[in-house]
Structure 1
Amino acid sequence: MDRRQFIRKAGLVSTGAAASVGTLAMPAIAQSQPEIKWRLASSFPKSTDAIFGSSELFAKTVSEATDGKFQIQVFPAGELVPALQVLDAVQNDTVEITHTASYYFIGKDLTFAIATSLPFGLNTRQQQAWIYQGGGLDLMNDFLANYNAVMLLGGNTGTQMGGWFRNEINTVADLQGLKFRVGGVGGRVLSMLGVVPQQIPAPDIYPALEKGTIDATEWVGPYDDERLGLYQVAKYYYYPSFWEGSSALQYMINKKKWEELPTAYKAVLRAAAALANDDMTAAYDARNFAALKRLVAQGVQLRPFSREILDAAYDATFKLYEDEAAKNPAFKKIYEPWMQFRAESYQWFRVAEYNFDSYVYSQQAAGK
């Protein structure tokens, strides 16, 4: 289904109106609806233009779709609310909406991570299929009701890179005592292998790596990592990030504010979020390769994580999940159907997708 079809099915285009790519025309809605002004507190700085830019596209689309009657002002991390306190701000109605990654809040409950990424979980298309068509959105919104929030999908970075290391990492023994800037569930898994996870905000990553305060760091992928200049202080660039086979972001909205919206405005938000969601993934897919070429030209050494490390991490990951499901009913309620979806999705992707990709990539690598 293309974007125009989606917008029409969402009821966003009145008779005789047209929706162009990136905009929605809705004069009929605008004439009869109230004027609303919201503030969006992002968890991301302006420098992450693929991510922060998607919030700006989201807000712009909402405004254009309502002829300026529904305005959302977007604030970067720290300007209104610290990056990791945006959910609290939505809960207590300090702001109406945030753009964030749900796994930032696993200190409250590990269940939050499922909406963004679980180690050895789903790739980008599978994650979106689970959210949109596999029941994931309803399950997560049932959970988020406990936090006075409603979720819409808000972008995906794709599979991330495993990070920057000052020295080569070949075995599990090499991970012992490694000070690694890594968060979320990935940090918990790696700590089971001897890593010492560090929580450091983006502006402080480069100086911490340069001074040796940390031995390694992960961020996102080539496009964003290049902008942080990490290649200047660590030459070994590992892949893949097994803890982020995809990384889905979310718009989280104050539940009361969401329920107060006219039906037409809810439809606008859903469609604008879907547009911004697609745009972010496309941005990373389009930009990462050129950035990777530039990094390699600067002397960066690409390295895959060894099978030994991946196997050890895989085993530790599912022990963590089993332990969490045994003690956390909220996690178990979502994790079990998520695992069923994962099993079925993997079986399907192994048939056509995997074999097509494997063949054409091997041919391209052979120079054909």
Structure 2
Amino acid sequence: MKRRHILGAAAAVATGTGVAAILGKNPKTPAAAKTEKKIGAPNISKGLKQFRMATTWPKDFPGLGQMPNRFSKALYDMSNGRIDVKVYAAGELVGALECFDATSTGAADMYHGAEYYWQGKSKGFSFFTAVPMGMTASEIMGWIDHGGGQKLWDELSASFNIKPFQAGNTGHQTGGWFKKEMNSLEDFKGLRFRMPGIGGEVLRRLGAAPVNMPGGEIYQALQSGLLDGTEWVGPWNDYAFGFYREAPYYYAPGFHEPGASLAVGINLDVWNSFSASEQAMISFACKAANDASLGEYTYENARALNILKTQHGIEPRFFSDEIMIKIGKISEDVVRELGSSDARTKKIYDSYLAARNEYRGWTEMSDGRYIRARQAALKT
């Protein structure tokens, strides 16, 4: 976002004008710039193919909401306008969590969302977004693209008539915003904290009371006292919601989503209707969206963090080694239980775990040691 949009973000959300008002550089899809058409079957005439993409994101949402638009624009440009994907925000075509079923049945042609939303269909889907103490963004990209992850993902999704692709990544997500200091494990006891899914189960085993709540309801819940804290994404999106006003203790690192991968899912019949060259364009459009989003989040998170520090007095804090070690041990138990839920999920879990453990040595030797050395050098 432009600087003026970041500075106005929290006020826009707090006053109810919404995130659409704070976004200044959302790439418009080709179809979005045209006159609205009545929702119906894909229009295929004179070589033009038009498709409907349902998404799980609010309209014009910074970062997450831009990923599907980037995919659509890249595909439109590469196909010289022959493949035109109209992107629908959550609720415009189907509800946010109805995207998967709509794509599976053909009510929508494709979706953009987070695969762990579909863990009710199969626990295996969680491994293709993020699991506690799991892979970083670059690691999950390596596993899916080169370590056998895509084949396992294809097999899982095909059973629901869907072809999946990586098409976005938020990078490392932070530990969250708290109304009090988190100095010890005791501080988690009874803590009412917004964290859904598997991460929430880890907190529950620490003695917290995890709450599953949509993003649009979080600020008011913090304000009213219903929540003692929340996680969301990272500085860029968190600042837009103004969480720092109600819960000023900002902690890192996040254990629950160390590199959240987002996805495009395409109805398998629609996918099979494309030519080989069209399929290649779709694959590259997904890669373009994936790469651009990771760079964007890295850039915008850094800018927003500096604004939080210099203009709002927020000084990031870090969980103690005691807390992180305990969270790590609980996370291993929770993810192992998840991965053992059925034979297909166990196959995915075994591959994911093997890749994560193989990466550990290299990630520590490269990124880990380098970053510690850089921080030490820059402090002198």
Structure 2: any 5+ residue segments left out of the alignment?
1-26, 28-44
Alignment of 1:91 onto 2:104? yes
1:359 alignment partner in structure 2: 373
Equivalent position to 2:277, from 264, 267, 272: 264
> In the aligned structure 1, how far is the partner of 2:366 from the partner of 2:303?
28
Give the secondary structure class of the aligned counterpart of 1:339.
Answer: helix
- SS of the counterpart of 1:150? strand
Write the deviation string for residues 297-356 of structure 1: whole angstroms up to 9, x where unpaired.
Answer: 312242112222212211111112333344421221011111111111111222233322
Measured in 1, the distance between the counterparts of 2:59 and 2:378 equals 36
> Which of 144, 154, 175 is residue 162 of structure 1 equivalent to?
175
TM superposition shift of 1:108: 2.8
Return the offset for 1:33: 8.7
1:155-304 equivalent positions in 2, closer than 5 A: 155-296=168-309, 297-304=311-318
- Give the AA of the match of 2:268: K
Residue of structure 2 equivalent to 1:317: 331
Provide the C-alpha distance between the structure 2 equivalents of 1:194 and 1:107, rounded to a whole number of angstroms.
25
Match of 1:54 in 2: 67
Distance 2:68 2:81 in 1: 17
Retained in 2: the 8 A contact 1:120–1:242? yes
1:144 deviates by 1.1
Q: Give the corresponding residue for 1:110.
A: 123
- Give me the whole-angstrom Cα distance separating, in 2, the residues matched to 1:210 and 1:58: 37
Paired amino acid for 2:52: R
The counterpart of 1:347, out of the listed 339, 344, 361, is 361
Q: Which amino acid aligns with 1:267?
A: A
Corresponding residue for 2:82? 69
CA distance in 1: counterparts of 2:298 and 2:340, whole angstroms: 38
Moved more, 221-230 or 254-263: 254-263
Partner residue in 1 for 2:320: 306
Q: Give ranges in structure 1 of 5+ residues lacking alignment.
A: 1-21, 23-31
- TM-score when normalising by structure 2: 0.85
Q: What is the rounded CA distance, in whole Å, between the counterparts of 2:281 and 2:238 in structure 1?
A: 33
Separation of aligned partners in 1, 2:62 and 2:335: 34
State the secondary structure of the residue aligned to 1:90: helix
CA contact (8 A) 2:132 2:335 kept: no
1:106/1:184 contact within 8 Å kept:
no
**Residues 100 and 159 of structure 1: CA distance in aligned 2, closer, same or farther (over 3 Å):** same
Residue identity matched to 1:233: E
Deviation at 1:109, TM superposition (A): 2.5
Q: TM-score, normalised to structure 1's length?
A: 0.87
Q: Among 339, 342, 357, which residue is 1:328 paired with? A: 342
Task: Quote the sequence identity (%).
Answer: 33
Amino acid at match of 2:335: Y
Backbone CA RMSD of aligned residues: 1.7
> Which whole-Å CA distance do the structure 2 matches of 1:124 and 1:365 have between them?
27
Residue type at the aligned position of 1:341: A
The letter for the 2-side match of 1:59 is S
3-state DSSP of counterpart to 2:168: strand
2:198, 2:334 within 8 Å by CA — same for their partners in 1?
no
Give me the whole-angstrom Cα distance separating, in 1, the residues matched to 2:339 and 2:76: 42
Contact 1:113 1:184 in 2 (8 A): no
Describe the shift of the 1:364–1:47 C-alpha distance in structure 2 as closer, same or farther (beyond 3 A). farther
Q: Secondary structure at the match of 1:50?
A: coil
Q: Greater CA deviation, 192-201 or 280-289?
A: 192-201
Of the three residues 91, 95, 118, the one matched with 1:82 is 95
The C-alpha deviation readout for 1:273-305, integer Å capped at 9, x for no partner, is 101110000101111111111112312242112
1:136 paired to 2:137: no
* Aligned-residue offset at 1:47: 4.4
